[in-house]
């Protein structure tokens, strides 16, 4: 069953739901773009590792394993039990793996476009600072950057939200694009709660036609495959604040859904 919202569903911003949706969106975006860009380009899922601070919810998922030291075999003395040599592991600091999509030019392997689906870790604290540094590095390169921000919480991080020439918030959600050959212009799709998600242009090399990301199709599939209709209790309030107008609109929307027995 699809989400009752025409576009982004604010209930999906719940911290227990968003990580699964985020990973699914990344996978389906790559799947949507791959047939369009091949064989000249290849869309891949990349991953950067960020070390989380002490006390965070992340579980260490990387460790160093040391084999037994290979001590010489010592025969057991009668009546004495000798233990086998253990394997040692060194636990690293908590690590947070953040996936993104990269489009490379197959002939040379050059990175052409980076697509980021922003998560809360990109919008708060030290994680935001690291993301902004990566953003700045990309803007200094010849790589296109596409940012998909479907989270209304956290500090503004996308180019559309941090551009000093734009007064006030662009919108609740946004897709922002910076092309490598025209950095002074930022393309963006402003997305309100009541609007459908856009079909976005994804830049490749300057001489090639843009790919098109059908974000509504990707989102609907991610919602369905994640069985989010079974996880979300739409009878309660969303986990994020809404404006008075959006809140009233949402109440009417969900009341109509209940009347239809959905």
What integer pLDDT is reported at residue 80 of this predicted model? 72
Could you tell me which of 205, 209, 141, 202 has the C-alpha nearest to residue 176? 202
What integer pLDDT is reported at residue 260 of this predicted model? 82
> Does some domain include residue 2?
no
> Does some domain include residue 68?
no
Domain coverage including residue 130: 10-59+89-259
> Does some domain include residue 71?
no
> Does some domain include residue 81?
no
> Does some domain include residue 95?
yes
What integer pLDDT is reported at residue 86 of this predicted model? 75
Whether 214 has a pLDDT exceeding 60, the answer reads: yes
Number of domains in the chain: 1
Structure confidence by residue, pLDDT tens digits, 166-209: 555 568 999 999 999 999 899 999 999 999 999 999 999 999 99
Structure confidence by residue, pLDDT tens digits, 12-66: 999 999 999 999 999 999 999 999 999 999 999 987 655 444 333 333 333 344 4
> Does some domain include residue 83?
no
Long-range contacts of 30-37 (CB under 8 A, 24+ apart): 30/101, 32/213, 32/214, 32/217, 32/218, 33/101, 33/103, 33/202, 33/211, 33/213, 36/211, 36/212, 37/103, 37/204, 37/211
> Does some domain include residue 237?
yes
- DSSP, collapsed to helix, strand or coil, labels residue 14 as coil
């Amino acid at each position: 069953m699809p989400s009752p919202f025409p576009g982004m569903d604010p209930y999906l911003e719940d911290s227990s739901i968003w990580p699964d949706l985020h990973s699914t969106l990344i996978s389906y975006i790559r799947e949507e773009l791959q047939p369009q860009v091949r064989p000249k380009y290849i869309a891949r899922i990349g991953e950067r590792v960020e070390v989380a601070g002490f006390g965070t919810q992340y579980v260490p998922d990387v460790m160093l394993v040391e084999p037994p030291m290979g001590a010489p075999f010592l025969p057991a003395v009668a009546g004495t039990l000798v233990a086998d040599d253990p394997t040692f592991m060194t636990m690293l600091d908590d690590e947070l793996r953040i996936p993104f999509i990269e489009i490379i030019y197959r002939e040379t392997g050059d990175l052409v476009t980076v697509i980021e689906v922003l998560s809360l870790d990109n919008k708060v604290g030290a994680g935001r600072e690291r993301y902004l540094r990566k953003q700045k590095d990309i803007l200094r390169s010849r790589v296109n950057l596409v940012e998909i921000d479907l989270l209304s919480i956290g500090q503004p991080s996308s180019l559309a939200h941090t551009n000093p020439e734009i007064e006030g918030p662009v919108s609740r959600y946004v897709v922002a694009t910076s092309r490598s050959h025209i950095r002074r212009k930022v393309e963006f799709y402003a997305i309100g709660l009541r609007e459908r998600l856009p079909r976005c242009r994804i830049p490749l090399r300057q001489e090639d036609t843009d790919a098109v990301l059908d974000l509504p199709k990707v989102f609907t599939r991610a919602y369905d495959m994640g069985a989010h209709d079974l996880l979300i209790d739409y009878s309660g309030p969303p986990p994020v604040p809404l404006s008075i107008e959006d809140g009233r609109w949402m109440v009417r929307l969900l009341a109509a859904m209940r009347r239809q027995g959905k």
